[in-house]
Amino acid sequence: MKRLDHQNIVQLKFFFFSSGDKSKEEVYLNLVLEFVPETVYRVARHYTKQKQTIPLLYVKLYMYQLFRALAYIHSFGICHRDIKPQNLLLDPESSILKLCDFGSAKQLIKGEPNVSYICSRYYRAPELIFGAIDYTCYIDVWSSGCVLAELLLGQPIFPGESGVDQLVEIIKVLGTPSREQIRQMNPNYQEFRFPQIKAHPWHKV
């Protein structure tokens, strides 16, 4: 985070190490970040309780800033890997959005394997559900698309209690992936038995 300097990324003010209470061998890294009072998640919940959705103008403003932040970190090869409304801080007065929580972030190196069980439920890209370990920063783009849909709909677009449940919800909207598409997501995936469902018309989503 010391390398990152962008208007739409939460600023690291200071950091220090401390030892654990039970064992001196336990060392904790403590981060002091700039204070931003709100999150997109809490703002969205406020509108949901009023049985409304966030005004389109604000949705555009928030998403524009999110994609600016992603373009910046992706230029360094850094993948956030946990894009969700809770990790989008918001200043209610200026409407400035700041991406936070880089606990799962990693600089991806081509050919170097990564863990597939990453990213929060509802926002996981299909390749992660299929168990891919050689993915790209595009998984952040998928998660951002899920955030966009959630802000427009007032609820998660691909809910599910498990990876299989979530995959079913994705197939309901995008249709059944072909074998070639599955191989592109994860060449080692062998189970190809999925119900054949046509993609849902976007204007009816």
What is the spatial distance between Cα 34 and Cα 42, in angstroms, rounded to a whole number? 19
165-173 long-range contacts (CB < 8 A, ≥24 apart) are 166/121, 166/122, 166/124, 166/129, 167/126, 167/129, 170/126, 170/129, 171/195, 171/197, 172/197, 172/200, 173/199, 173/200, 173/205
Task: Tell me, yes or no, if 82 is annotated catalytic.
Answer: yes
Of 82, 101, 134, 165, which is the active-site residue? Answer: 82
Q: Which two tokens stand for residue 45?
A: 């919940």
Residue that the structure tokens 């090869």 belong to: 77
Secondary element (H or E) of residue 28? strand 27-33
| Rg of the chain (C-alpha set) | 19
How far separated are the first and last CA of the chain, in Å rounded? 37
> Residue 13 corresponds to which tokens in the numbers above?
């003010």
| Among the listed residues 32, 41, 31, 34, the one whose alpha carbon sits nearest the alpha carbon of residue 66 | 41
Q: What is the set of active-site residues?
A: 82
